[in-house]
Structure 1
Amino acid sequence: MDPASLEYVEQLQQNVAELHQLGREWGMTDDEMSDCIERVLRENENVIVSPPRKSTARRIWRCIGYTPVVVSCLILGVLILFAGSSLLFVVFPSAEHYMSGKLQPYGYTIFRTIRLATLPLHRYFNITSLYDAECLVENPWYEEPTLECNWCENIKNIESLNDTKNHDLIDEFMREARPIVFKNLANVVNFEDLRGLYRQNNVVLDNAAFFRSSVPGMRSIQELFGDEVDENTLMKDGTTIHWVTRNMAGSQVIRKLFPRPTFIPPESEVALERVIFIDGHKSDHYELVVLPLQMGYYIQASGNHKVIVTPLKHCRDVCNPMQTVLKEGDILTYNPSVWKVVVMPNFQNKLSIGYAGSFSFNGLDFDLKESEDAEIQPDPDAEPQESVQEEDSKTEQT
């Protein structure tokens, strides 16, 4: 066969292959494509081949038909991955610790990517209020982990310490979940100190995660520290103000007035969440908020305040409530897995300013997993240790 004929045959084969590919895209069967090609070869070579009318509809239907399948497979895959990971972490807790350790160096990168990916949502929704949220969806059935009641049944009073030099004794008290009052350990902070701190750092402190006030018309921190507000204004009956900060910048600023307590070991983590309480005369009573870390502390920065330390609900039949009056500079520390703290109304003729925070067990020679281990739980038959109870609590009854 001469070269011209070979070239024509190759061109013809290429055209046939292209026609077959085009027919498949149109949804034609092999028989339909063969009949169409033979008809064209028999007739005028300029005839334009049109796809059957049903091919376009078939192609659209095929694309639509695959979409639910792909979406369902993706959702099913995510659910299987989540369920499998949860089951693995429950059966093998060491696997959770391993994965947490491996992903920790990439935590900032992961969450930064998520934050950047959500930026287009700002065009339609204002999500700035979610930046400091602990979770996006509250779980009404979630309960904080608690310890067994034998941790509190032999504790009859609140320990009182005048210094923080005896680290072994402090560790022992905390290991036994005993509430402790450190006397005259914190700095005294008044309302003018708070106002001065705010005015020097208002850009940072305006972004509070939560602010609630019982004063009519006071809905923000800006209004709290306005020129027309002073201690006499806040001393009115029923004034109760809660101010929560959870971001890094705000916590660093507040730390200037409320530095890290000296009894917290340097190895322990201190939570970013800082809560400031301002109570006038005959203020409402309230329970200290649920704390993010294992140990909580409350500082009485100004005025005196009576607090009641009660066991959790499931231990009220076997454990006793206790009370004390915190004076200026006192710090109460407690384990929220065993105790809850209720701040009573302020009946003093001075504005009360309190501060709450939390810290981890690191550096205290024990951790939560060890605390939950039955082998190291305190002996329920052991005699309670002697302690110094506050004079005010001896004369007052719960």
Structure 2
Amino acid sequence: MSKTRLILQQYKKDVMNLVECAKEINSRNDQEKIFAECFYSLNKNEQFSPSRNSLTTSLLRRILNLYVLLFILAISIYILLNVHQPTSSLVLRNVQGFIYPGLKFLRILSVPIIKKLPLLTGLYDESCLIENPYFYVHEMECWPCYNVYSFIEITGTQNQSTYSSGIPHITKTSHKPVHFDDLKDIYDQNKYYFHKESGSIRSSSNSVTNLEELFSQNVEALSSSDIHVSWRINRMLPARIMRSVFPKPESLSERSGQSVERFIFIDGAKAHPYMLPGMECSYISVRQAIGQRTIVLKPSAECSKKCRTVSLVLNSSVILWYNWWYWRPVSLPIVNATDLAISYISSYC
């Protein structure tokens, strides 16, 4: 016989003995009264001690009701401010005096967080923290990509206003090609500034996670690999340093303003295709500093039914110009390529 069964039998025997003793000491009415009082006490405790599940459900219901109330209140205020002009004017007139003190107070509150997480200071230079993937322009005019079958070279053309509107074209530059060793020399001379203000890169290789590891690589090994490195520069000092190797294109007028944000892409001969990023300004240039890449311009979602896909092989010292509103570019490797490719992307307003 198992130990559990023996314990149960002993427990049953003890209970029967207890019942017999109760019968001898008290009458049956007294037993019923005692049991009734016990059951009443148990029912009372259950009634006034709700379970944890009921408490959680009640709390969730109250939070949900609060969210619904706040949502309705926010929608009502938004509609009131946009529909009722006197209310909107009254609110704006009285709120403007609190904007600067409120932002100052918010900054004071954020100081302890910045001290604990200093990497957050990099967000100050971001023009957009979260890009809207559902952004779409209804009824956008797509005439700059109508009837585009190839890329026109306009180097030296006097009147370039037509092409500045968004028609894709190419120009040749007299600036010398930029090799990997040139970038390495610039990095060695300004290592402190790059690590401080533009030291982050993205790479398809686990062995290259920062600039120091990138420029310690062998050029021949990089050239024959499938590595893709994206070096983003979005601060003024590193951008000014890079002007010595990537000066402003000759075809741009002096009035053209260049954004601070720019990208340097370093691709091995077998690097996989990737999309070129959206930039701060819509007028974008892609300069092939060295090597070759195939650039495919796909029409944007707004113009996909009216325009067609075009492509070209971008050679060294050639600049591709396009407008981000109408095109979504993809960079692909050249078949049977053996050289390293370096691309420089910037935008103009």
TM tier, shorter chain? Answer: 0.5 to 0.7
**Aligned residue number for residue 127 of structure 2:** 134
Cα 1:237–1:159 shift into 2, 3 Å: same
Please state if 1:201 is matched with 2:190: yes
1:213 to 203, 212, 217: 203
Q: Please give the TM-score of this superposition, normalised by the length of structure 1.
A: 0.58
- Matches for 1:221-300 after TM superposition, within 5 Å: 221-226=211-216, 229-300=217-288
Q: Please give the TM-score of this superposition, normalised by the length of structure 2.
A: 0.66
Alpha carbons 2:199, 2:210 under 8 Å: kept: no
SS of residue paired to 1:271: strand
- Matches for 1:1-398 after TM superposition, within 5 Å: 87=82, 118-126=110-118, 127-143=120-136, 147-163=140-156, 165-166=157-158, 168=159, 170-175=160-165, 177-206=166-195, 207-208=197-198, 210-226=200-216, 229-347=217-335, 348-360=337-349
Match for 1:157: what amino acid?
A: S
- After TM superposition, give the deviation of residue 111 of structure 1 in Å: 8.9
SS of residue paired to 2:265: strand
Distance 1:266 1:114 in 2: 40
Match for 1:121: what amino acid?
A: I
Distance 1:270 1:139 in 2: 24
- After TM superposition, give the deviation of residue 202 of structure 1 in Å: 1.2
- After TM superposition, give the deviation of residue 288 of structure 1 in Å: 1.1
Number of aligned residue pairs: give it.
Answer: 265
Alpha carbons 1:283, 1:346 under 8 Å: kept: no
Alpha carbons 1:185, 1:330 under 8 Å: kept: no
Match for 1:255: what amino acid?
A: R
Cα 1:130–1:148 shift into 2, 3 Å: same
Alpha carbons 2:292, 2:316 under 8 Å: kept: yes
Distance 2:139 2:244 in 1: 33
CA RMSD across the alignment: 3.6
Distance 2:237 2:252 in 1: 21
- After TM superposition, give the deviation of residue 86 of structure 1 in Å: 9.1
Cα displacement string for residues 298-317 of structure 1 (whole angstroms, at most 9, x for unaligned residues): 00000122211221133233
Distance 2:79 2:259 in 1: 31
Q: Unmatched 5+ residue regions in structure 1?
A: 1-74, 92-102, 361-398
Match for 2:144: what amino acid?
A: W
Alpha carbons 1:188, 1:328 under 8 Å: kept: yes
Distance 1:356 1:320 in 2: 23
SS of residue paired to 2:260: coil
Alpha carbons 2:299, 2:307 under 8 Å: kept: yes
Q: Unmatched 5+ residue regions in structure 2?
A: 1-69, 86-95
Cα 1:359–1:113 shift into 2, 3 Å: farther
Instruction: Using the aligned pairs only, state the percent identity.
Output: 26
SS of residue paired to 1:157: coil
Q: Which stretch shifts more, 263-272 or 194-203?
A: 263-272
- After TM superposition, give the deviation of residue 213 of structure 1 in Å: 0.9
Alpha carbons 1:147, 1:337 under 8 Å: kept: no
Cα 1:138–1:359 shift into 2, 3 Å: closer
Match for 1:271: what amino acid?
A: S
